[in-house]
Structure 1
Amino acid sequence: MNSPPKPPNTINSRGHPTEFEPIIQAKSHNFIGREFVFTAIHEFLHRYRQGYFTITGPPGSGKSAILAKYATDNPHVVYYNVELEGKNRAEEFISNICTQLIEIFAIDNLPVETFNITSLHQLIQQISDELEPQQKLIITIDGLDRIDRNSQSPGTNLFYLPRYLPDGVYFLLTRRPFLREKSGLLIETPSHILNLADHSESNQQDIQTYIQQYLNHEDIKPWRNHHQINEQEFCTSLAAKSENNFMYISQILAAISEGFYPESWQYNQIPPGLEAYYQQHWQKMKAANQDEEFSQSVLKVLVQQQQPISVEAIAEILNADEFDIEEVLENWFEFLTHQQISGAEYYSFYHTNFCKWLANKLET
């Protein structure tokens, strides 16, 4: 590079590509709390000279909103969202990130036709070499697990992310729960994984605060008054039903404001937005296992349980091999809550409402 990188230039008023602007605004709208996450990110950035910081959590736990809020408050970071159409392919990621880096750091000696894995890594190194002592290059990727793995060579890091990082370079990632041996990343640099599910008390407080901001909403307050539901009852009941899931609570609140629930506390009927969300889960679950008949048998056992169930218990019920059960469950891992009890592996679905939805799906 002929000259040191200039201070970041904004690509638009917020500093991010216009194609990502709508999703950043939508995801960060009415954002509440999550201070424990931002504190952990801040501490990581100041403790290590480079590294990967990953936020994990079940579907609907607020990962995308956290990253959108971070991007909003830090317009100098590079933002990428895998959820958008066409953005789940490695070549698109490389092209987009290279374009952003060239724009932000005003680099003029890297031809567009050289956008490939080598040019991305070289570009990151070039920028690192010229960073000011306190300057950092932070690249955020929302939805890392949604990559089309067929878009890159087998055995390589997801999106060809670097195994090693130079000084001052950080990747901030979000993804759903995953098995360590199937992480898709081989990295030899400082890293940290923050699992949102490990912070139930903070999550509960943020959920309650989120609900409280809607107490006097122009459509919700009349609904509460009509059904004679006071503020405390409204917050306590919805927070309990949410199970700390922001997607669930946001959809229920939207449904109440739109008149979807004429009766109080009758949430058996699922709002259209949540229905579509669960349908996406279902399609992915069906595609994950080749033996549809066997996987459906496992599913029937899971949805009938009121408590987490062990692999051994499922195998006994189905008279099947535990290895085959584990294979099915591993393919559904992002939708499950996994825990070890007395050395045994126990599983349940990440949200009671999704479990009930699946049970109804199997009956139709």
Structure 2
Amino acid sequence: MNSPPRPPTTNHLRGHPREFKQIIQAKSHNFVGREFVFTAINNFLDHHRHGYFTIIGAPGSGKSSILAKYVTNNPQVIYYNAELEGKNRADEFLINICTQLINQYSLNYTSLPDNATEGSWFFSSLLQQISDELEPHQKLIIAIDGLNCIDRNSQPPSTNLFYLPRYLPDKVYFLLTRRPFLREKSGLLIETPSQSLDLADYPEENRRDIQAYIQNYLTPLLYEGRGGQDYSPPLVGEGLGERSNLQSWLSNHQINEEEFSDRITTLSEDNFMYVSQIIDAIAENFYPESFESNQLPPGLEAYYQQHLHKMFPPKQDTEHSTDVLNVLIQQQKAISVEALAQTTAAIAQIIDTDEYEVEEVLENWLEFLQQQKIASETHYSLYHSNFRDWLGKQAFKTF
């Protein structure tokens, strides 16, 4: 008979798996702001006995960093990242997460059952065992980053993503992140309290946090000197080269900090990935003369290339997709499905495109699009103008 689980304490926490420690550290590096998200999470945990809380956001909006920071501040949280190579399959998730639960809560299992990955039965059993032994003030929180990366072919189509439980025992919570998706194709059927926070619904907070993030690189760190605390340029060997190099670059190009911050904030369109890649590129002398916004650093190009590969998977008919994308690239403002279908037909001139076919393409690309409701129509545009401009330079006829 299995012995009851012991809730973790700070004395016997075993830490997160090695494959996740590096990404948690990297994603929470130079983290600032996002208090409105943490407040929403804490309110959800305080007002519900169990449930799912989901952070939704476009690529580069800071979802992964928010989750990594939360886990850093709450090390008892179980963490899993589906974005890492080989970690997007349901069987790998169940093996990893069940092992974490057994280790962290000292459950009496020397190995997983042979059929532990056949559905959610064993996973749910562990959650119930732990829930039964938690103290009233304790919670089991499992954070999963990147639901949009899950390989749905690794499990039956009628099951929840990663076999996440439809019902949850008391004091068990899931924190999830994912890119925009169709509600009817969420991949989750749950009957427990749930809440979603879409970062796009908080433009003022996002802009404020972007500005704080940039300022964090412009402000010399506080250090303890003989005369007490003082501001000083970073010292060699302290790992603060980004700040030092950025400040030197601004000085060499006679650009004041306020001007730089305002320009990068505007160009960022509230996208943290864009800002971090630009600042890294400046620190690495990618812009020796001056900053040209149409010259993308290698890291950002690689990021956009990943988007493109997902939009055009191998062995998929791309006839309509290419035409739809060409229209999106040429648009400066969001356009409606109806207008897009008509424009696609005019551009292609060789296919008979109707609205349904266009909608099907857009649904598959929803994570890379912005949606706006104007009157009774839904309007679409690519999530970032730099991504749109980069796409405009690619040769889509080769797909």
| SS of corresponding position for 1:188 | coil
Q: Which residue of 1 aligns with 2:96?
A: 96
- Residue 2 (structure 1) shift: 5.2
- Whether the 8 Å CA contact 1:71–1:77 is kept in 2: the answer is yes
Q: Deviations over 1:246-286 (max 9, x none)?
A: 00000000111111112334121110100100000000001
Residue number among 340, 346, 362 corresponding to 1:329 in the alignment = 362
Task: Output the amino acid matched with 1:31.
Answer: F
1:278 paired to 2:311: no
- Whether the 8 Å CA contact 2:322–2:396 is kept in 1: the answer is no
1:356 paired to 2:356: no
- Residue 81 (structure 1) shift: 0.5
- Residue 3 (structure 1) shift: 4.7
CA change 1:288–1:125 in 2 (3 A) is farther
| SS of corresponding position for 2:296 | coil
**Corresponding pairs, count:** 364
- Whether the 8 Å CA contact 1:157–1:184 is kept in 2: the answer is yes
Q: Which residue of 2 aligns with 1:126?
A: 129
Residue number among 175, 191, 194 corresponding to 1:191 in the alignment = 194
Residue number among 145, 149, 153 corresponding to 2:152 in the alignment = 149
Residue number among 305, 315, 320 corresponding to 1:294 in the alignment = 320
CA RMSD between the two structures: 1.8
Gaps of 5+ in 1: none
Distance 1:250 1:322 in 2: 38
Q: Which residue of 2 aligns with 1:262?
A: 288
- Whether the 8 Å CA contact 1:12–1:18 is kept in 2: the answer is no
Task: Output the amino acid matched with 2:150.
Answer: I
- Residue 144 (structure 1) shift: 1.1
- Runs (4+) off by over 6 Å: 10-14
Residue number among 346, 349, 360 corresponding to 2:379 in the alignment = 346
Q: Deviations over 1:297-319 (max 9, x none)?
A: 11111100110011111111133
TM (norm. structure 1) is: 0.96
- Residue 83 (structure 1) shift: 1.4
| SS of corresponding position for 1:97 | helix
Q: Deviations over 1:313-351 (max 9, x none)?
A: 111113321111100011100000011111111000110
Distance 2:112 2:5 in 1: 18
Q: Percent identity?
A: 63
- Whether the 8 Å CA contact 1:288–1:332 is kept in 2: the answer is no
Gaps of 5+ in 2: 220-242, 346-352
Task: Output the amino acid matched with 1:215.
Answer: L
1:232-243 maps to which residues of 2 (within 5 A)?
232-243=258-269
- Residue 24 (structure 1) shift: 0.6
- Residue 158 (structure 1) shift: 0.1
Distance 1:142 1:228 in 2: 41
TM (norm. structure 2) is: 0.88
Rg larger for: 2
Q: Which residue of 1 aligns with 2:106?
A: 106
Q: Which residue of 1 aligns with 2:236?
A: none
Q: Which residue of 1 aligns with 2:275?
A: 249
Residue number among 205, 223, 235 corresponding to 2:249 in the alignment = 223
Q: Which residue of 1 aligns with 2:180?
A: 177
Distance 1:363 1:89 in 2: 30
CA change 1:289–1:317 in 2 (3 A) is farther
CA change 1:10–1:100 in 2 (3 A) is farther
- Whether the 8 Å CA contact 2:13–2:76 is kept in 1: the answer is no
- Whether the 8 Å CA contact 1:9–1:104 is kept in 2: the answer is no
Task: Output the amino acid matched with 2:38.
Answer: F
Distance 1:86 1:134 in 2: 36
Task: Output the amino acid matched with 1:67.
Answer: L
Bigger shift: residues 223-232 or 326-335 = 223-232
Distance 2:92 2:248 in 1: 48
Task: Output the amino acid matched with 1:95.
Answer: I
- Whether the 8 Å CA contact 1:300–1:362 is kept in 2: the answer is no
Q: Deviations over 1:202-261 (max 9, x none)?
A: 111111011012125211112111221111111111000000100000000011111111
